[in-house]
Structure 1
Amino acid sequence: MAVLTEAELIEIRRQLHQIPELALQETETHAYLLSVIKQMKQDYLKIREVAELPTALLVLVKGSKAKRTIGYRADIDALPVDEATGLPYASKHPGVMHACGHDIHMTVALGVLSYFSEHQPSDNLLFFFQPAEESESGGMKAYQLGLFTGEWHVDEFYGLHDNPSLPAGAIGCRNGTLFAGTTEVNIDIKGQGGHAAFPQLSKDAVVAAAALIMQVQTIISRSIDPIQSGVITLGKISAGHIRNVIADSARIEGTIRGLTQSMIEEIDQRLREICRGIEISFGVKVKLELNQGGYWPVENDPDLTRNFINYMKQAAGVNYVETEPAMTGEDFGYLLAQIPGTMFWLGIEDDAPLHSASLTPKESAINSGIKAIVGFLEYRMTED
């Protein structure tokens, strides 16, 4: 197989779009990716599958005079969304869709890999087709399994996320934080139920929950630097059984978003303190669960990102856009906390937002993205 053409890439994207799979279930996707990669010239390639993370796929491209290994990550899972695009190549898996555009991510990565399978790079390149980005922290699992050690060591990591609000093929980036980190919040309050007419004999979980919710609103407004950004949203509460019985328990569920890991940890600590205070004030028990997993803030490495941006600004044919931080989450942040690197946007120009049942990326973005990334990687390999 020669370097994949634009028509072939579009067909690959459409094939991938029809077989979306949820986190850690990407068996058909894994098999399809492997079949495409095995058709490429194998002279410089080494393929690795991982028993402990069976839907992951790593491909090492051996450099001619390697002084570093540059990693490139593409996530492969989909979302539990019923597709509503009406496209002839719509999802064949009911209730599952590539509504976050990971089919685009995979196709761009295959295009870049195809190029370097025919044009041996000077540095090593490691392509990581990562399962479980949308949930289950696939990036963290891979790192903790030691996948990026020894021969598979990565010196710096790059990856993209598609963006429907940017023009098709545009490259967007910023130094500092690109995506926020996220933490799931679960709070269980255990009180003592009783008759509505005798509140003095009970410990009202509803009143305790109401007080807790209101106090949580002060964390961002009074404990976080106003120049920075953080979010706590408590989106679900359940308590009680009937109007004339004081509730013995309540459950609150929500999410924390922060632009740095230190900010998230500060918010976590304030939330713990408030929960302890509610226990004392209302005589109830409060169990707090904070589940961050691998969804750390995507904090781009200053030097590598400055270099990436400078290249994209001057590269012929690249439409570069400086972007603002987004409060969406991405588990590439965990990898960037361990290995320096850069995440960037690829514009796909669509009226529908990410995670929408009607997301329809402009496929012209695929080839533009591949050209920009290949150009940058070749440029990066000329540097010391």
Structure 2
Amino acid sequence: MKMAVLTEDRLIQIRRDLHAIPELALAEKRTHAYLKRIIDGLDQRFITVKTIPELPTALLVRVAGRQPKRTIGYRTDIDALPVSEQTGLPFASKNPGVMHACGHDIHMTVALGILSYFSEHQPEDNLVFFFQPAEESRNGGKLAYELGVFQGKWRPDEFYGLHDNPDLPAGAIGVRMGTLFAGTTEVNIDLVGKGGHAAYPQDANDMVVAAAQLIGQVQTIVSRSIDPIEGGVITLGKLEAGTIRNVIAGSAHIEGTIRGLTQAMIERIDGRLKDVGEGIARSYNAEVTVTLNQGGYLPVENNPALTKNLIRYMKGAPDVTYIETKPAMTGEDFGYLLSKIPGTMFWLGVEDKSQLHSATLNPDERAIQSGVNAITGFLTDRMTQN
């Protein structure tokens, strides 16, 4: 027996249920089961549900359009972070050390609200909802694409998705032309020289000194190799070397991250980092290995025409607060899907003093229904266009 369209009170309860059962990338089993149960309770006249054996926590839901001109995709992420919650909420995480500290519980709930609406009000165009695992790590969007999930009637002609933003008023929609999120690359650098006694440096090859020189030179890449009116970041956040104070370290290991607003910029920074590594290797007669892993975390570069259209609608909608936002240096694997299928990502304001990935993040739940209303309105408007 089908349920009615999900009400605001029901959506808030769904969000709280999801918040209490956060799971890490590719382990979202309870989350998947909960989502499936809600979806199965909706009007099934126009709905087809698809699972992916090779990506078992993912869910795809297709809503058949009555006179489709296109297939519109909507993506939401479902995984959580390895963060110990400190909100004190009655529906706080029941999984120790895991929390929806990035607001994916809000993302999922808004998606369910949109799906619920179109399950009762058959859309003109086809809709494909992608409940995606492994956004925070393991690039679930890339995994799904490479598995051939988006083929035939399951391939969107355009893709949309949101990310919650505690700096914006609850329910506000924020977007911009161009890049919304930076692309990211994981950096691992290994330096190998020769260990020895602290009293006899001439007989060793000190990798603490080599690592220090490398770290210093890396700081010049953005300041001297990147256009200052563009944005790029290199952060080396971890350094391991040595075992005791009076032994020269024969090896060192450095870990960090690169952020850039375009793929071309990321690749330029990647290349300069490799150059620095090669220079240190020659200067210190050491073996230096620079390993870069971008995976699916490409810049989220919004399609110009589709984004212009979304901005037009959000600006004109009487019940939507629209805010033009700046690009963010945070990463999002929706960028990979947007490199394959044109689309747009936008912000949903959730107004909170705590930031994303914080143990105290507590989004304003008033944003849920506002988000559902804004996006269903936009999608309905989009379907009226050629």
Separation (CA, whole Å) in 1 of partners of 2:235 and 2:19: 32
The residue type equivalent to 1:82 in the other structure is: S
Separation (CA, whole Å) in 1 of partners of 2:246 and 2:101: 44
Residue of 6, 9, 17 corresponding to 1:7: 9
Aligned residue for 1:358, secondary structure, equals: coil
State TM-score, norm by structure 2: 0.98
Aligned residue for 1:251, secondary structure, equals: strand
Superposed counterparts of 1:162-173, under 5 Å: 162-173=164-175
Residue of 274, 277, 280 corresponding to 2:276: 274
Partner of 1:233: 235
Task: Report deviation, 1:195.
Answer: 2.0
Residue of 89, 92, 111 corresponding to 1:90: 92
Separation (CA, whole Å) in 2 of partners of 1:83 and 1:274: 40
Partner of 2:59: 57
Aligned residues: 384
Separation (CA, whole Å) in 2 of partners of 1:21 and 1:106: 13
Task: Report deviation, 1:242.
Answer: 2.1
Aligned residue for 2:26, secondary structure, equals: coil
- Summarize deviations over 1:90-133 as a string: whole Å, max 9, x none: 11111111111100000000000000000000100000000000
Separation (CA, whole Å) in 2 of partners of 1:154 and 1:136: 23
The residue type equivalent to 1:334 in the other structure is: Y
The residue type equivalent to 2:9 in the other structure is: A
Partner of 2:306: 304
Separation (CA, whole Å) in 1 of partners of 2:15 and 2:241: 46
The residue type equivalent to 1:343 in the other structure is: M
Partner of 2:335: 333
Separation (CA, whole Å) in 1 of partners of 2:234 and 2:354: 25
Q: Structure 2, unaligned stretches of length 5 or more?
A: none
Separation (CA, whole Å) in 2 of partners of 1:54 and 1:316: 41
Separation (CA, whole Å) in 1 of partners of 2:249 and 2:10: 61
Residue of 106, 116, 119 corresponding to 1:104: 106
Q: Structure 1, unaligned stretches of length 5 or more?
A: none
Partner of 2:256: 254
Q: Is 1:69 the equivalent of 2:71? A: yes
Partner of 1:288: 290
The residue type equivalent to 2:129 in the other structure is: F
Separation (CA, whole Å) in 2 of partners of 1:114 and 1:280: 62
Aligned residue for 2:377, secondary structure, equals: helix
Partner of 1:220: 222
Separation (CA, whole Å) in 2 of partners of 1:80 and 1:140: 21
Task: Report deviation, 1:244.
Answer: 2.2
The residue type equivalent to 1:58 in the other structure is: L
Q: Percent identity?
A: 70
Separation (CA, whole Å) in 2 of partners of 1:183 and 1:19: 29
Task: Report deviation, 1:30.
Answer: 0.3
Partner of 1:145: 147
The residue type equivalent to 2:68 in the other structure is: A
Runs of 4+ in 1 over 6 A off after TM superposition: none
Task: Report deviation, 1:198.
Answer: 2.3
Aligned residue for 1:330, secondary structure, equals: coil
Separation (CA, whole Å) in 2 of partners of 1:288 and 1:323: 35
Task: Report deviation, 1:181.
Answer: 0.7
State TM-score, norm by structure 1: 0.99
Aligned residue for 1:342, secondary structure, equals: strand
Aligned residue for 1:274, secondary structure, equals: helix
